[in-house]
A = this chain, B = another copy of it.
Amino acid sequence: MSLRHALLGALADQPRSGYELLKHFEQSLAYAWPASHSQIYPELGRLLSEQLIEQTAAGARGSKTYALTDTGLAEVRRWLRETEPDRRVRNDALLRMFFLWLLEPDEAREHLERERAYWQGILAKLREIEAKPPGQTRKERAFRLSLEGGIRMVESRAHWLDWAVDQRI
């Protein structure tokens, strides 16, 4: 149940509405834990009923702002400290590579080129975020750590594909 802890963690940062959380997921957390509005809103309802979060404001167009409760903060920290990270990775794009030999060599090469272009695009986006001057709070340093991790992973994909398109397959 990473989604609920991702939500709690995002609210530990600052109070946010469902919609703001959704945008935050799209921008910041998308490469670590993508989530859609149809998952976020019901989960917020559950977190509210369990008193891990509380509604602190209501805004225009029915927006509701939530803040983390003490119990909620304790729960994220418990999750971080006591539960083992799920290190399994599902990677459709990598899976396909195992089966490239089922395509004609030209098609396989085109496939690799498309993947390369995609990841180069993502890399450029991440580098833009990186270019902004960093703050010096612990929160900001943790974010930079994660961002650096994301960049390195995407970079290794892009470099690998650079190498791969030149292989005979």
Which chain A residues have a beta carbon within 8 Å of chain B's beta carbons?
Answer: 2, 5-6, 9, 12, 28-34, 73, 76-77, 80-81, 85-103, 105, 107-108, 111, 115, 118, 137-139, 141-143, 145-146, 148-150, 152-153, 155-157, 159-160, 163-164, 167-169
Contacts and interface: CB of A to CB of B under 8 A. Distances in A.
Nearest to A140: B101
Contact of A94 (B31, B94, B97): B31
A141 B98 CA distance: 9
Contact of A91 (B33, B73, B80, B137): B33
Contacts of A77: 102-103
7 shortest interchain CB distances as A-B pairs: A156-B156, A9-B99, A101-B138, A101-B142, A32-B95, A97-B146, A85-B93
B142 A85 contact: no
Contacts of A169: 138, 141-142, 145
A29 to B, nearest CB: 7
Contact of A149 (B9, B97, B102): B97
Contacts of A153: 94, 153, 156-157, 160
Nearest to A86: B92
Contacts of A96: 80, 85
